[in-house]
Structure 1
Amino acid sequence: MRRNYNKADIKQEAKSGPERAAQALTRAGVFTDRYLITEGEFAGRMEKRLHGVVSEREADEHIRAMQWYVETLQKMGVTVADTVFRKTPAGRGWSVTLFQEKFEEDELVTAIIREGVKRECLETFERTLREGVKAIDYKREHDVPGKDEVGFHSSLRNWAMRGGEMIFLDLTPPLRRVNGRTYPPSFLKHIPARFKFIPSLRMRDLFFRPASRDSFAMPVMLAGCLASAVSRRRELERRFREKTIEVIEDCIPASERPAYLEKIAGKRLSLHRKINRLVRGFFRS
């Protein structure tokens, strides 16, 4: 049984902050739906149904891709949230549904950084950066597909902390090409189904930016984490930047550091992030 929300609930929750606003947009159907299951086999888990209706064969392929993605993250040393994948009938085809363990609001990294005391906030931010760098170390030591194909994206919103352990939440392969195979774009992180009527790809990309190889370059990810943290605790911008530089100096070979330092220098909000802020502001009003 799903817990559903009406429009009044959505607008009220959106007033609580950017993360709640994003959750409200999700429940409104702008992003992938996410519900708390209260009965049955998956009671207590969050249900996340992916947009898009495809053939049963394509649904099976996508589940295999997600299982490979989870196994690859675990090999990297990343702890992932307990998640079950299922294919479900949808209209004339099939969809894929994820049932993931539920995390409380105060266990999410974004909430800890936004609301935690200064020391806790900075320690959590640094731990998130170091967890992300695991992908680099793993790729150096093992023969795996390019990290842009793995699609691991260590953004703050993709992490939770429980019992002192960092747990990665986002288990949907973000790129069309995963494990050497190409998968249906309707499944992957591209454009919500209801916006597919927009005729111009340029217009679509302005509002719902598709994942690209550049999005998963590690310098871009660290810079994105920095910008995300600063947007939640602007008064700690200098300390966030110092922590980011510390991680780069500790974990990145000297020959590669200039690219990282250049990326985080004077990091500004992208057009995509500015648009998201405008949308969230609308729901808070």
Structure 2
Amino acid sequence: MTDLAALAETIRRHEAAQGQPISRLGYFCAPFRPGEGPFSDRVIKVYRGLRDDAALDRLAAAHDDYVAALRETGVPLPETAFHLLEGDGPRVPVIVQEALPETALMRPRMQAEGLESTLEMMEAAGQVIARFWNAADRFETRIGFHPSIRNFAVLDGQAVFYDTFPPLIHYSREEMGRMLLLFSDKRLMRLIGPLMRARVTGIQDEWYSAPETLVGLVGSACRLRPKHAQAYLDWGRDFAERAMPRWAEEAVAGMQAAPRLPGYWTGFRKLLGLQGEPNL
């Protein structure tokens, strides 16, 4: 069982020392790994606190359900725990997750390794995507998946997924759109986001579409290694036919050329100063 007092002290020391996060992307937070102490083998993700206790309790329950659903569908996931830390102010959501070797993170590996190796990693990640969607019908609730390259590590040929926030289960499209604003770590997004609520809400749509998650993975690879784009497109079309036949027609249609990010999302990224770093 997690020592919550020790966890709170670890977070307090990190904030006091203004330690460096291990990822700068952090749309929702900047994860960190303590250099010493009882959580030195863990990545800690601290989110914005809320004064709405009912919403926080619902979030905690949804996260537990989502982790269970990911495991049930065969998605490899590090040991992951969700906590609501008590303090002087509102309760604060915190995720504590088993740390993965930085040398296994898929995004930097995709940038540095040869074509054959990157295709092997794409296959490993694709198999996780296919397993999830081929099994997702068993859940009688709205459920999604965000399998971007930056949310995977590849260990011994197996892709491991590690992004469980926000928990993409139970929430309606409108509720998830509000959550994207409510929990954003970027104050600017919380200020201007409500003015563009429809576009912010649309960010999530890919996560709830089986073919679009595959197309999104291929699009990311094409942007990372444009000189290999044709090889990734060829792989993606073949993979859709053999591993995701129910969605192959739509997925293949989306991979006739290198997929591009929606203009509104690239605009948000530039506005918020987000870079394509691993979002541990």
> TM above 0.5, one fold?
yes
1: CA distance, partners of 2:155 / 2:265? 28
Question: Structure 1 regions of 5+ residues with no counterpart?
Answer: 11-19
Matched residue count: 259
Q: In structure 1, how many angstroms separate the alpha carbons of the residues matched to 2:92 and 2:186?
A: 12
Residue aligning to 1:98: 95
| Superposition pairs of residues 32-111 of structure 1, within 5 angstroms | 32-111=29-108
User: 1:61, CA displacement in angstroms?
Assistant: 2.6
Matches within 5 A, 1:65-214: 65-140=62-137, 143-146=138-141, 149-175=142-168, 177-178=170-171, 185-186=178-179, 191-192=184-185, 194-195=187-188, 196-198=190-192, 200-202=194-196, 211-214=203-206
* Root mean square deviation of aligned Cα: 3.4
Does the CA-based 8 Å contact 2:30-2:45 persist in structure 1?
yes
- Quick one: which of 261, 265, 268 aligns to 2:260? 268
Q: Is the 8 A contact 1:191 1:210 kept in 2?
A: no
Is 89-98 or 241-250 further displaced after alignment? Answer: 89-98
Residue-by-residue CA offset, 1:114-154 (whole Å, 9 max, x unaligned): 111221111101221121011221135xx3135xx222222
Show CA shifts across 1:39-95 (max 9, x none). 443232111011232344433332221111011111101111111221113553111
Contact residue 190 and residue 211 of structure 1 kept, 8 A: no
Task: Note closer, same or farther for the CA distance 1:114–1:193 as it changes in structure 2 (3 Å cut).
Answer: closer
Q: Distance in 2 between matches of 1:126 and 1:199?
A: 36
The residue that corresponds to 1:251 in the other structure is 243
- What amino acid maps onto 1:242 in structure 2? D
Amino acid at match of 1:136: W
More strand by share: 1
Instruction: Give, in whole Å, the separation in 2 of the partners of 1:56 and 1:273.
Output: 31
2:234 is aligned to: 242
| 1:13 corresponding residue in structure 2 | none
Relative distance call for 1:263 and 1:72 in structure 2 (3 A) is: same
**Alpha-carbon spacing, 1:98–1:56, altered in 2? closer, same or farther (3 Å):** same
- TM-score, normalised by the number of residues in structure 2: 0.78
Taking the aligned partners of 1:36 and 1:199, their CA distance within structure 2 comes to 30
Which stretch shifts more, 244-253 or 33-42? 33-42
Change (3 A) 1:137 1:188: farther
% identity of equivalent residues: 21
Q: How big is the shift at 1:160?
A: 0.8
Superposition deviation, residue 100 in structure 1: 1.1
